[in-house]
Amino acid sequence: MKLLIVLGAVLLALNQLVVAKTHNVICYYDTSSITRIGAANFTSKDLEISLQLCTHVVYGYAAIRRSTYEIVPGDKRQLPLFQQVNVLKKRYPNVKFLLSMGGNADKRNPHKYMELLENNRDQKRGFINSVLGFLRNYQFDGLDLAYQLPEEKPILDESLLKRVFSAAKEKVSSNLDKNKVPTKVVSVAERRMQFTQLIGDLKQAMRGSNLLLSLTVLPNVNSSLYFNVPVIMGNLDFVTLATFDYSTPQRTPKQADYLAPLQALPPNKLRNPQANVDAQIRYWLGQGASSAQLNMGIAGHGRTWQFKKLLKSDKMPIRSSLDGPAAADANVRKTGMMAWPDVCTKVKQMTKYEDKISGNYAYNAPQVKGSTGLLITYENVASIAEKATYVKSHKLGGMALFDLSLDDVHGVCNGEKFPLLKTIRNKLI
């Protein structure tokens, strides 16, 4: 009897191992979190706790040196973290460790990413050789291209007079800007060919070293302008779509909408009908991507707006009284952004609307004259669980959390550590 129980337990464990391999749980790790103070500081110990739940960990973010187009650390303080990769690989042999480049974190000379696509073969070869050397030096299992491409412009609520004035102002400003880098006019077909070639050359160089190559499509990038999907998929191990941040206070300071709606929202003149998770997934599948190679990105942060007057309407999209990004908090220290533990704690005392399909938002009106109100859009456990159901029903590769350091690392809100990551893991596996 005891033998049967033991055999049953072994078979169950083996079955769980097989199931675990059917979906990716990709953990993006913003290494700049090491510079945060207090509860927001993400330590090596915190990382190790999360690694028990991840199939891949993606270290962000490396940068490009403009003068040589070589890959380099985004910050020298990343180096000790990169140096730990080999040790962690031995402790967690089932986890793949990738280095991510770009991620909208490389702010210096951002046009260099487009320049790299336009460079000659020798310059591209120099970039590729630097990638291989970097991965080899720090023992990464592969490269993730979180390539910094131009974002689509948001739909703004402006009167005709405002639009005319804005256009005139922009024209005058561009004429006065003598430091503006001239933009080479490149057709969509040529741009797609350039990106296809870069990916193909990278993969060819990596094959001998058995390295992984993945692509992260950053928020609000129009995939149709840059990616020849059926061709590049043959040279990529997987693609992660950052399906969130469709509305942010940086993009639309005076109007707000849901952070990451799963399905298309009711039609509205302020809404892009493609600005939802399902539309992005369906585009890639429709272009010939294998569902097993696609991963859905999940935001671990909330987006925050401030306002000093009462909202005329609290129904999305909100377009009255908003006054841009809310002030940075003491933890993450980024305007218009809040980590999940702070979101979870704050919304308990706020007026909130939560829907697992459309998304969630909460607000506090200004209490007295001169005070500031706060609006937050965010994911929660229920909306993430619904997205996991979508991933399974569409047979996608998995899900990716952006990023580990923004989850409730210390169990501040409800006593549970990494609740967002655990929801992804438990629902997929």
pLDDT value of position 286: 98
pLDDT at 20 over 50: no
pLDDT value of position 21: 54
- pTM of this prediction? 0.89
Which of 6-20, 43-57, 199-213 shows the lowest mean pLDDT across its residues?
6-20
Question: Cβ(259)–Cβ(244) under 8 Å?
Answer: yes
pLDDT at 169 over 60: no
pLDDT per position as a tens digit, 131-163: 999 999 999 999 999 999 999 999 887 653 355
Q: Which two tokens stand for residue 155?
A: 């739909």
DSSP calls for 123-149: HHHHHHHHHHHHHHHHT-SEEEEE---
DSSP-based three-state secondary structure for 409:
coil
Task: Quote the CA–CA distance of 70 and 60 in Å, as a whole number.
Answer: 16
**CA 355 distance to own-chain centroid:** 21
Q: State the Cα torsion 299-295-212-222 to the nearest 10°.
A: -80
- Omega within 30 of 0 (cis) for the link into 403: yes
DSSP-based three-state secondary structure for 287:
coil
Q: Which helix (H) or strand (E) holds 238?
A: strand 238-241
The residues that bridge with 85 in the sheet, in sequence order, are none
Task: Quote the CA–CA distance of 215 and 101 in Å, as a whole number.
Answer: 10
pLDDT value of position 330: 78
Which of residues 215 and 170 earns the better pLDDT score? 215
pLDDT value of position 216: 99
Confidence of residue 279 (pLDDT cuts 50, 70, 90): very high
pLDDT at 39 over 90: no
Spell out the domains of the chain, with CATH numbers in brackets: 17-299+379-428 (3.20.20.80)
pLDDT per position as a tens digit, 171-182: 444 444 444 444
Residue 18's identity, in one-letter code, is V
Question: What is the number of residues in the chain?
Answer: 429
Question: Cβ(111)–Cβ(55) under 8 Å?
Answer: no
Task: Quote the CA–CA distance of 364 and 351 in Å, as a whole number.
Answer: 6
pLDDT per position as a tens digit, 233-242: 999 999 999 9
pLDDT at 5 over 80: no
Confidence of residue 408 (pLDDT cuts 50, 70, 90): very high
**For the chain, percent of residues with pLDDT exceeding 70:** 89
pLDDT at 17 over 70: no
Q: How far is CA 25 from CA 139, 240, 298, in A?
A: 21, 11, 11
Find the mean pLDDT for residues 98-124. Answer: 94
Task: Quote the CA–CA distance of 367 and 249 in Å, as a whole number.
Answer: 22
